[in-house]
Structure 1
Amino acid sequence: MSNFKTATLALLLLSGMPLTAHAETPLPDAIAAPGEAVVLAVHAEGAQVYECKAGAEGKLAWAFREPVATLMANGKTVGRHYGGPSWEHVDGSAVVGKAIGNAPGATPSDIPWLKLEVTSRRGSGILSGATTVQRINTQGGKLDGACDKTGATRSAPYSADYVFLRKG
């Protein structure tokens, strides 16, 4: 992670004040959320899980199945990320999102940056007011190529920053 991105994330995590997402890190237009305020920014470490499936042409290939990651802030575990895609905070609040925008990762082995619209929520904690989730600063997570056994699974380690936002 670049020093600028690290410093930006540190400032986001240390600040209790709502900030607008576009002020911290210049983001590609496809995932920008102008006018939305940051509710929470966390770092995730985990894996993208893939399953061997037949593609459109009948050839077996790795297909994305689900994420499994730990959400961290200030060196402490604050939640988890899993299939849905879902994010759950230790305070009991959780959101589920649907991708509405993406931009390429920094290298070919990095999963894309995403903008997700929150489609459902539960609990009354910090995530309860979130309306948008951004996945940025991705590292790793891609798994390409052929596989030889339908139903086989494989994980690709990844890390990313997730920024939870609310409208105005």
Structure 2
Amino acid sequence: MFIKLAAPCLLSLAALIGPASAAETLPDAIAAPGETVVLSVHAEGAQVYECKAGTDGKLAWAFREPIATLLSEGKTIGRHYAGPNWEHADGSAVAAKAAGNAPGATAADIAWLKLEVTAHRGSGVLTPVTTVQRINTHGGKLEGSCGKAGELKSAPYSAEYVFLRKG
């Protein structure tokens, strides 16, 4: 009797788990196969844009820099800023360059990124990091025309940053 009841329950559970696992698969452009997670944090902040003339001579918002607080279990553990750079409260830091991207979930969400670490500072949790992924973005996009060259405007965003190391 137990086995007859358990089998449908297990199949139902498997059906529920299956789609969730598939949704967590990262796009190939930002995947980091063979790398191990060192740290995963939540970020809250803003993407800062500057009003600049485009190649067509028209003024438009151009990305300038990120400004974000890195959080773990609701506590501030670091910051993210232009470079791009990430600093941990233990004194370790990394700078990186974009190596891949994938679209955000909606048109209002900034892209998901894969970034290769180009420099390390200090010693601590970020010391072994070789790759940074920006995933699960919400907001942060600012598009369209603007009125005056040099004007700055920010768009609030949140994301998860995953710090990885080779092996």
Q: TM-score, normalised by structure 2?
A: 0.86
Tell me what 1:18 maps to: none
| Structure 1 letter corresponding to 2:67 | V
| Structure 2 letter corresponding to 1:133 | V
Higher Cα Rg: structure 1 or 2? Answer: 2
- Does 1:111 pair with 2:110? yes
Tell me what 1:90 maps to: 89
Tell me what 1:12 maps to: none
Q: TM-score, normalised by structure 1?
A: 0.86
- Does 1:81 pair with 2:59? no
Unmatched tracts of structure 2, length 5 or more: 1-19
- Does 1:58 pair with 2:57? yes
Instruction: Quickly say closer, same or farther: Cα 1:146–1:75, change in 2 above 3 A.
Output: same
Instruction: State the superposition RMSD in angstroms.
Output: 1.8
Q: Structure 2 CA distance, aligned partners of 1:152 and 1:121?
A: 33
Q: After TM superposition, give the deviation of residue 97 of structure 1 in Å.
A: 0.6
Q: After TM superposition, give the deviation of residue 25 of structure 1 in Å.
A: 2.7
Percent identity reads 74
Which 4+ residue blocks in structure 1 deviate beyond 4 angstroms? none
| Structure 2 letter corresponding to 1:124 | S
Instruction: Quickly say closer, same or farther: Cα 1:23–1:40, change in 2 above 3 A.
Output: farther
1:107-161 deviation line (CA, Å, top 9, x unaligned): 0000000000000010110001100000000000000000010000000000000
Q: Structure 2 CA distance, aligned partners of 1:24 and 1:132?
A: 21
Structure 1 counterpart SS, 2:65? strand
Number of paired residues?
149
Unmatched tracts of structure 1, length 5 or more: 1-7, 9-21
Structure 2 counterpart SS, 1:84? coil
Q: After TM superposition, give the deviation of residue 24 of structure 1 in Å.
A: 9.6
Structure 1 counterpart SS, 2:25? coil
